[in-house]
Amino acid sequence: PAIDTLMDDIDAARAESYPLLMSMRLLGREPSGDPTAIADALVIEEGYKGLGAHWVEVPRRIAAKIVTHLIAGELAYPNEIVEQGAAEALTSRFLGFFPQGARYFTNGACSGPFAVYNLVGEEVLGWRSLSEAPFDNGVVVISAERAGMIWAEDAP
C-alpha cells in the first residue's frame, strides 16, 4: 500500500504534465552476480530496452537529484511542475524503500540544472535511451530485497 500511495501522490502532484513510471519488485533473496542484469530485467519487464554494460552507477545523492528533477520538472523544457520542496519529499519517500548499501543506476545525464557524476567522481555527459522517446531518464535502484525504478519519457 505504501508504494501505491506514493505513486498516487506523485501522479497527483504531476497532474499538469506527463506521468512517471514507478515500478518495484521484491527480489526474494540477496541478488548475486551483476546488478545491471537485474536492472535490465526490470526495465525490459516495463517495456524498455536494457543497457547492459552501459548503465551508469551513481551515488545515492546523485540518484536523489535525478529523481527530484524527474518529479519536479520536465525533461524537454525547464518547466517547474512540482515545487522543489514537495519533489524532494516525494524523492525521500521513494528512496526510503531502499536501505543503506543499495546501488543506484541511471542511463546518463539527460537534463537538469546539475551535473551527474558516477561512483568514481567522473562527470557523465549524455545519455542512452531506453525508449523511443526523444528524451528519457530515470533511476533504477537495487538492494538486497528489492529492485525499483522511476522513469520519465518526454518529447518536445
pLDDT tens-digit readout, 58-114: 999 999 999 999 999 999 888 999 999 999 999 999 999 999 999 999 999 987 778
Q: Are 119 and 57 in contact (CB under 8 A)?
A: yes
* Whole-number Å distance between alpha carbons of 29 and 45: 19
Q: How confident is the model at residue 28, as a pLDDT?
A: 77
Q: Are 98 and 145 in contact (CB under 8 A)?
A: no
Strands (E) in the chain, as ranges, are 21-26, 56-58, 103-106, 108-109, 126-127, 135-142, 146-154
pTM of the predicted structure, to 2 decimals: 0.94
What integer pLDDT is reported at residue 104 of this predicted model? 99
Q: Which pLDDT band holds residue 31 (cuts at 50, 70, 90)?
A: low
Provide the grid cell at 115: 551535473
**Given this model, what pLDDT does residue 113 score?**
77
CA distances from 5 to 9, 12, 17, 30, 93 (A): 6, 10, 19, 26, 10
* Domain 2-154 annotated CATH 3.10.350: no
pLDDT value of residue 30? 67
pLDDT above 70 as % of the chain = 97
